[in-house]
């Protein structure tokens, strides 16, 4: 079984940190399908340091293990504070984000922008590693752009500073989520390190998952958008039973209800529902109806109209 630091995982599949997606409800559903490790949504270290309620209320629910908390920022002191805070809250690991390419993150020198400055990146990693007794991971991209490809250098620095595993999303920051991930770079990274390498990018089928491990040598694989509306990908890869589609949707909605309450759950399910029912011949009609749902009874009634 795969291992990150002293944490043994049940399998090699990781549920990615997805902004606005990877809350407790989503993570719990992924665990139901057998995922080996879940990640929190990306959390602002500055917000935690400044006692921002939204940043500090990431909650670990009983039996939610193993879970990795991902933080972002560029100030070594703030990053160390946030890492220590979440270790105290019960995180099994801490992850530093060096890959987020969105403007509101990089304009402050965080995420993929921080990876452009290897000296600053090293300072951040060192500061965080010093305060932790749990495993530390980082998530990176190939570099800012093709002319600034520096993932091997950053990974080497991270390993020397005591990082326990590195996740590579094999795109450049300037690509955002366009184009195709270059998995040959994952293989190069694996051959350059002794710590586990997590591969990420364009994993949508069981053959994608298998190939990432057997052909490209990834120790673990991180699946993000490929799990939205399709948690069955996990059970398919693990060769375990999967419940019917309607049961999956009900389970997800019930987790949203328990964690967020009815009004918010009815709004949040709207971002997932279209992906679940995209193969249904009346998907467009169902999506429009879901956008008008404002109570759980109406949502459950809507499920009766799904054609599978």
Q: Give mean pLDDT, residues 260-287.
A: 95
Per-residue DSSP letters for 3-23? EETTEEPSSSEEEPP-TTT-S
Bridge partners of 44, per DSSP, are: 72
Give the per-residue pLDDT at 62.
63
Catalytic annotation present for 145: no
CA distances from 61 to 17, 23, 40, 138 (A): 17, 11, 12, 23
Q: Using CA atoms, how far apart are residues 169 and 212, in angstroms rounded to an integer?
A: 12
**What pLDDT digit, counting tens, does each position of 5-32 carry?**
999 999 999 999 998 899 999 999 999 9
How many Cα atoms occupy the beta-carbon half-sphere of 5 within 13 Å?
20
Give the per-residue pLDDT at 110.
97
Bridge partners of 143, per DSSP, are: 149, 172
pLDDT tier at 1, thresholds 50, 70, 90: confident
Q: What are phi and psi of 229, to 5 degrees?
A: 80, 0
Is it the case that residue 59 has pLDDT exceeding 70?
no
Q: Give mean pLDDT, residues 184-208.
A: 97
Bridge partners of 8, per DSSP, are: 3
Give the per-residue pLDDT at 189.
98
Q: What are phi and psi of 298, to 5 degrees?
A: -65, -35
Is it the case that residue 57 has pLDDT exceeding 80?
no
**What pLDDT digit, counting tens, does each position of 288-299 carry?**
999 999 999 999
pLDDT tier at 61, thresholds 50, 70, 90: low
More confident position, 187 or 61: 187
Per-residue DSSP letters for 100-137? ---HHHHTTT-GGGGGG-HHHHHHHHHHHHHH-SS-EE
3-state secondary structure of 91: coil
Is it the case that residue 55 has pLDDT exceeding 90?
no
Q: Give mean pLDDT, residues 269-280.
A: 95
Is it the case that residue 166 has pLDDT exceeding 70?
yes
Q: Give mean pLDDT, residues 254-280.
A: 95
Q: Which of 100, 167, 266, 290 is catalytic?
A: 100
Q: Give mean pLDDT, residues 91-112.
A: 96
As a whole number, the mean pLDDT across the chain is 95
Which residues neighbour 186 within 8 Å (Cβ) at sequence distance 6 or greater? Answer: 168, 170, 197, 199, 212, 216, 217, 218
**What pLDDT digit, counting tens, does each position of 123-152 carry?**
999 999 999 999 999 999 999 999 999 999
Give the per-residue pLDDT at 52.
82
Bridge partners of 37, per DSSP, are: 14
Which domains, from first to last, does the chain contain?
3-238 (3.20.20.70), 245-303 (1.10.1200)
Alpha-carbon dihedral sign for residues 226, 230, 234, 236: negative
Give the per-residue pLDDT at 54.
75
pLDDT tier at 60, thresholds 50, 70, 90: low
Give the per-residue pLDDT at 101.
96
């Amino acid at each position: 079984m795969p291992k990150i630091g002293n944490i043994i995982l049940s399998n090699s599949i990781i549920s990615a940190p997805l902004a606005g997606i990877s809350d407790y409800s989503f993570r719990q559903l992924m665990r139901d399908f057998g995922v080996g490790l879940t990640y929190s949504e990306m959390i602002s270290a500055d917000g935690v340091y400044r006692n921002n309620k939204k940043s500090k209320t990431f909650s670990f629910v009983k039996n939610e293990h193993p879970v990795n908390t991902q933080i972002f920022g560029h100030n070594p002191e703030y990053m160390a504070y946030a890492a220590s805070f979440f270790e105290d809250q019960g995180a099994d690991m801490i992850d530093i984000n060096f890959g987020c390419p969105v403007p509101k993150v990089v304009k402050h020198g965080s995420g993929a922008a921080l990876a452009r400055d290897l000296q600053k990146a090293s300072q951040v990693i060192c500061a965080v590693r010093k305060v932790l007794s749990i495993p530390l991971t980082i998530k990176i991209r190939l570099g800012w752009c093709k002319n600034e490809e520096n993932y091997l250098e950053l990974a080497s620095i991270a390993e020397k500073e005591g990082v326990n595993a590195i996740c590579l999303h094999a795109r450049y920051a300037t690509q955002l989520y366009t184009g195709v991930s270059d998995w040959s770079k994952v293989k190069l990274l694996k051959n350059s390190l002794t710590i586990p390498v997590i591969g990420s990018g364009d994993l949508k089928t069981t053959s994608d998952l298998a190939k990432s491990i057997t052909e490209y040598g990834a120790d673990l694989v991180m699946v993000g958008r490929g799990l939205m509306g399709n948690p069955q990908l996990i059970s398919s890869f693990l060769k375990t039973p999967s419940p019917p589609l309607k049961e999956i949707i009900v389970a997800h909605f019930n987790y949203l209800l328990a964690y967020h309450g009815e009004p918010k759950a009815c709004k949040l399910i709207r971002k997932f529902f279209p992906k679940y029912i995209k193969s249904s011949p009346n998907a467009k009609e169902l999506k429009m109806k879901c956008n008008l749902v404002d109570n759980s009874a109406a949502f459950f009634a809507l499920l009766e109209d799904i054609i599978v």
